[in-house]
Amino acid sequence: MKLGELVKKYNLETTGQTQLELKVVKETLFDEKLRILVDTYETFQKERVRAGNRILMIAKGRDNADEIRGEFLTLLCEMEDIERKIAKDIEAHLKNNPVYADFLKHIKGVGPLLSARLMALPLRLGEHLSSWNAYFGLTPYYWKAVCENGHKILYSKEVGTCRVCGGAIVKLEKVEGAPRRVAGYQTFWNPYARKTAFLMGKQFIKLGTRGYYGRVYRNAKQRYSAKYPNEKPFLIDARAVRSAVKLFIAHFHQAVHDIYGIPVSKPYAFEYLAHEDFISWREVVRIEKAYME
Ligand SMILES: [Zn+2]
């Protein structure tokens, strides 16, 4: 069945404009429409990049453009148009979101797509920052556990009983460093969230000194280089990126709860002041707005 027929049959809206009802629902941040828009955008992008690479390969092997290649190029350009359209739709959708309007929009390095990725995460509201960090895979260490019934699970906190069956833990090992997938073990982080954190880190690196988190990254890199002179540069870099992203997540956590007016049970100082020189998200927005190149 053709798409147009499907739309008719199920009486779907085809006006294109997405309209967000501002419902502060909410147990989680999850915005389903945003997730669908971002997924669609990324699928198109992936296909276009893949097709583009293939054309490049063909082009490298031939001297003259041929007709088939020409046809493909036209199609690819159309795909780009569609991507742009979806990106616009995402922005229109985000405009009504107060976390975007008051916080994310002002943060350099976090554009509409990353914002949409963040707002589409089923992060639980009212939960502690440490739970959010675990969800993003941003923990300094983790535990490898096996229970009496053989469940193998990675945990972000030390546990006494199995998350699945409640059975006793018979093997427990603390592992230092950023969590890694271990064959046969369930993970505690969400792969989509972790990818989002990774993409954000890449943006913060690119920023240079232009954005607040770009400067946080650079300063952290200097600090860690001085503190760990024998560590390999790529590990220093990974550490610095992680700390910039983690600080961003702390501000994001604070902004979301402030803006939606949802209390977090742990005291402010305990949650946020674990970060060196923590300033509030409002202050970060002020700095981003004031910064001139
Ligand atoms: Zn178990």
Q: How far is the CA of 177 from the centre of ligand 1 (A)?
A: 25
Q: How far is the CA of 168 from the centre of ligand 1 (A)?
A: 7
What is the distance in angstroms between the CA of the first residue and the CA of the last residue of the chain? 54
3-state SS assignment for residue 145: strand
The residue type found at 153 is I
CA dist 228 → 13, 38, 239, 241, 274 (Å): 57, 39, 11, 15, 20
User: What is the Cα–Cα distance from 230 to 232, expressed in whole angstroms?
Assistant: 7
Q: Which of 89-93, 123-127, 250-254, 280-284 has the lowest mean pLDDT?
A: 123-127
Q: How far is the CA of 170 from the centre of ligand 1 (A)?
A: 10
Q: How far is the CA of 152 from the centre of ligand 1 (A)?
A: 8
Q: How far is the CA of 188 from the centre of ligand 1 (A)?
A: 15
What burial class does residue 65 get, using C-beta atoms within 10 Å of its C-beta: 0-12 exposed, 13-18 middle, 19+ buried?
Answer: exposed
Signed CA dihedral, 218, 234, 130, 255: sign only: positive
- For the entire predicted model, the pTM comes to 0.82
Span 267-281, pLDDT tens digits = 666 666 666 678 899
Q: How far is the CA of 186 from the centre of ligand 1 (A)?
A: 11
Q: How far is the CA of 138 from the centre of ligand 1 (A)?
A: 25
Q: Which of 224, 249, 219 is nearest to 234 (CA)?
A: 224
What burial class does residue 107 get, using C-beta atoms within 10 Å of its C-beta: 0-12 exposed, 13-18 middle, 19+ buried?
Answer: buried
Q: Name, in order, each residue with C-beta under 8 angstroms of 264's C-beta and a sequence gap of 6 or more.
A: 126, 127, 128, 129, 253, 257, 271
Span 71-106, pLDDT tens digits = 777 777 888 899 999 999 999 999 989 999 999 999
User: What is the Cα–Cα distance from 264 to 125, expressed in whole angstroms?
Assistant: 8
The pLDDT value given to residue 68:
64
CA dist 107 → 111, 159, 199 (Å): 8, 37, 14
Instruction: Name residue, tokens 């020409």.
Output: 70
The yes-or-no verdict on residue 65 having pLDDT over 70 is no
Span 32-55, pLDDT tens digits = 888 999 999 999 999 888 877 777
Q: Which residues of 249-288 are buried (b: 16+ CB within 10 A; e: fewer)?
A: bbbbbbbbbbbeeeebeeeeeebbeeeeebeebeebbeeb
